[in-house]
Amino acid sequence: AVAVALYFLVSSGKIKQWWQAGTSSGKWRIESLKLGNEIKNAEEQKNLLVKELGEKAWQNRIEHESYAEYYAQMQAQEQLKAELAEERQSLESQVKDVRQTRDQVENKYNEQIKGLQEQRKTASNQLNQLQESQKGFTKQLESVKKEHLKMQNEWQSFQNKLEQVKASTDPKRDEQIANLNDGIAALSNSMIKANNDIPQLEAQVSQIEEELTPIKNQVEDLENKIEQAKTSQKEEVKPLSEKIESLDKQIAGLKEKERQHQQKLDELVAAFGPMVNQARPASEVLNTAYSELDQKQSRFDELSQQQGLLKARISALDSKAVTSFYIFIGASVLVVLLFLVLIYFAFA
Mean pLDDT score across all residues of the chain = 83
Nearest C-alpha neighbor of 42 from the set 300, 228, 312, 315: 300
Q: Are 278 and 38 in contact (CB under 8 A)?
A: no
Tens-digit pLDDT profile for residues 97-121: 999 999 999 999 999 999 999 999 9
Buried b (16+ CB within 10 A) or exposed e, 293-320: beebbeebeebeebbeebeeebeeeeee
Nearest to 110 by CA among 230, 224, 236: 230
The share of the chain scoring above pLDDT 70, in percent, equals 80
Count how many residues are written for the chain: 348
* 342 pLDDT above the threshold of 90: no
Q: What is the distance between the terminal CA atoms of the chain, rounded to a whole angstrom? A: 27
Q: Alpha-carbon distance 107 to 100, whole Å?
A: 10
Report yes or no: 6 and 328 within 8 Å, Cβ to Cβ. Answer: no
State phi, psi for 127 to the nearest 5 degrees.
-60, -45
Secondary structure (DSSP) of 194-239 = HHHHHHHHHHHHHHHHHHHHHHHHHHHHHHHHHHHHHHHHHHHHHH
Give the pLDDT band (50/70/90) at residue 235: very high
Is the CB of residue 69 less than 8 Å from the CB of residue 272? no
Is the CB of residue 76 less than 8 Å from the CB of residue 271? no
pLDDT attached to residue 194: 85
Per-residue pLDDT at 328 exceeds 70 = no
CA–CA distance, 116 with 119 (Å, rounded to integer): 5
On whether the CB atoms of residues 307 and 39 are closer than 8 A, the answer is yes
Which pLDDT score, from 0 to 100, does residue 68 have?
95
Does pLDDT of 288 surpass 70? yes
Read off the pLDDT of residues 12-40 as tens digits, 9 standing for 90 and up: 445 555 555 556 556 656 676 787 788 78
Position 252 scores a pLDDT of 96
Say if CB 240 and CB 98 are below 8 A apart: yes
